[in-house]
Structure 1
Amino acid sequence: MTGSGSAGALRRLRDVVAADIAGADVAHDLGHLDRVAGLAGRLAVREGADGFVAAVAAYVHDHHRAAEARLGRVVAPAECRDTARDALRRAGIEPALWDPVLDAVEATGRYSFAADPGSGPGGGATGRAALIAACLHDADMLDAMGATGIARAFAYGGAIGEPLWDPAAPPVEGYRSGPTGSVVAHFHEKLLRLRGELATAAGRELGERRHAALEEFLRRFRDEWLETHDDPATAPPAP
């Protein structure tokens, strides 16, 4: 994906971002950025784009999460464009890449099933940035799917005090960012819908396997709920 010079630049950027995002929630930590950078770079190569640029975008795509932790409200990536730009500057990323990277970051995190869907992955970005945005978007979505996505969902739910499942708070339509009724409700409100949002052929290929893991987990969770409670009326929905 990268040569030795690019690898060194990514290491510098990673070090800069690690300090910037200190205090971000457990689901959007440095490990998440490492995974998304690896996936975005590989997807970009398979799609004929620049894997290094995609990985750079991945490392600065969650500055708004650290801002959310500080401010206690939802923050859009565009609000942190200057902060992300400064991270690129401090890491020595060449200035010609800054705008394509930042445009790609701002085009991620939009879902057709959201209450305010925006324009979708790649929306607002053009040319080079649009393909990088699609690869970054897919990598970010893939990290919310499969075994990794299951682990992240429960780590985040535990951190903010969400129950595993609450029959009194069933899944709702029109996904919105932020806390939900339970972790299992979040699966139905968002995670199960991500497969349909994947924008690249390479992302969709990986997404099939990861989506199947989500469905299998939810089937097992529902079966075990019924074994314990013997009350279909209170059980979570089948996937």
Structure 2
Amino acid sequence: MADHRAALRAVVTQRMLTDPAHDLAHLDRVWLIAQTIADQRTNQRVLLAACYLHDLINLPKDDPNRHLASQQSATESEPILAELGFAASEICNTQHAIAAHSYSANIPPESPEACILRDADRLDALGAIGIARTFAVSGALGRALYDIADPFAEDRVLDDQKFAIDHWKTKLLNLPAEMVTDGGRDLAHKRVTQMLGFLEIFSEEIGHPLPINWKSV
């Protein structure tokens, strides 16, 4: 396993573009989370490979073809896995996990490894790291932190294409309900609670009380 992990890290280091939210550190964290929520049914080789190869093709969040990126990553993974000596069945299972991990692809996960990768990848968007990633991505895309006139969209439609904080309400704070593993669900609730604590402080500092409908998930 250690040799495969080193080989996979070497591959993605060469092939992945620089992206503060989808870099080698992200892949290391997803693997760490995946091990935390995995159970005895899990094929660790398949899970390891899926964790490190799931973002081989990483399109920007505002790219119209972003929903295809996970399937393209699955396709790109095949020769890499074959070179590492993975059996045909392992390659197929790894490719499914990669394809099904994506939020935008909307492909149902049908194996333990696919369920775990899906949850682990989304868990990395929550908690302290999730807070940092939200603002790093929004900054890279030129989006404002919040709407000065109406930070929590009490009298407007949420728009996470313009405001970073809107993305929390439109997606991130809802992720616990979408987890498909028990361990993922428990960890998601813990991390969202941390984010809500941050939002309370954030709301005080900008002089706008946090609305009730933002305080629970």
Equivalent-residue separation in structure 2 for 1:42 and 1:53 (angstroms): 16
Amino acid at match of 1:74: N
Query: Does the aligned pair in 1 maintain the 2:138–2:144 contact within 8 Å?
Result: yes
The equivalent of 1:180 in structure 2 is 161
The 1:180/1:95 distance shift into structure 2, 3 A limit, reads same
The structure 2 residue matched to 1:61, chosen from 33, 49, 54, is 54
**CA deviation vs aligned residue, 1:50-81 (integer Å, no higher than 9, x gap):** 2332121011111221xx25x95433211333
**CA deviation vs aligned residue, 1:146-182 (integer Å, no higher than 9, x gap):** 0110011111111221111024684857x9xxx6221
Query: Does the aligned pair in 1 maintain the 2:125–2:172 contact within 8 Å?
Result: yes
The 1:84/1:16 distance shift into structure 2, 3 A limit, reads same
Equivalent-residue separation in structure 2 for 1:60 and 1:213 (angstroms): 29
The equivalent of 1:137 in structure 2 is 118
The 1:215/1:182 distance shift into structure 2, 3 A limit, reads same
The equivalent of 1:224 in structure 2 is 205
Amino acid at match of 1:110: Y
Unaligned residue ranges in structure 2 (runs of 5+): none
SS of match in other structure, 1:216: helix
The equivalent of 2:15 in structure 1 is 20
Query: Does the aligned pair in 2 maintain the 1:165–1:184 contact within 8 Å?
Result: yes
Query: Does the aligned pair in 2 maintain the 1:110–1:118 contact within 8 Å?
Result: yes
The equivalent of 1:106 in structure 2 is 99
The 1:82/1:118 distance shift into structure 2, 3 A limit, reads closer
The structure 2 residue matched to 1:118, chosen from 87, 106, 111, is 106
The structure 2 residue matched to 1:11, chosen from 6, 25, 28, is 6
Query: Does the aligned pair in 2 maintain the 1:145–1:211 contact within 8 Å?
Result: yes
- CA RMSD after TM alignment: 2.8
**Which structure 1 residue ranges, 4+ long, deviate > 6 Å from structure 2?**
none
Q: 1:133 Cα deviation (Å)?
A: 0.7
Report matched runs for 1:43-58 at 5 Å.
43-44=37-38, 46=39, 48-58=41-51
The equivalent of 1:88 in structure 2 is 81
TM-score w.r.t. length of structure 1: 0.76
Query: Does the aligned pair in 2 maintain the 1:33–1:59 contact within 8 Å?
Result: yes
Equivalent-residue separation in structure 2 for 1:216 and 1:209 (angstroms): 11
Q: 1:94 Cα deviation (Å)?
A: 4.3
Equivalent-residue separation in structure 2 for 1:41 and 1:102 (angstroms): 19
Equivalent-residue separation in structure 1 for 2:101 and 2:40 (angstroms): 17
Give the fraction of aligned pairs with identical amino acids, expressed as a percent.
32
The 1:165/1:156 distance shift into structure 2, 3 A limit, reads same
Equivalent-residue separation in structure 2 for 1:218 and 1:12 (angstroms): 40
Query: Does the aligned pair in 1 maintain the 2:73–2:99 contact within 8 Å?
Result: no
Equivalent-residue separation in structure 2 for 1:172 and 1:55 (angstroms): 40
Amino acid at match of 2:169: H
TM-score w.r.t. length of structure 2: 0.83
Equivalent-residue separation in structure 2 for 1:47 and 1:201 (angstroms): 14
Amino acid at match of 1:43: I
Unaligned residue ranges in structure 1 (runs of 5+): 1-5, 112-116
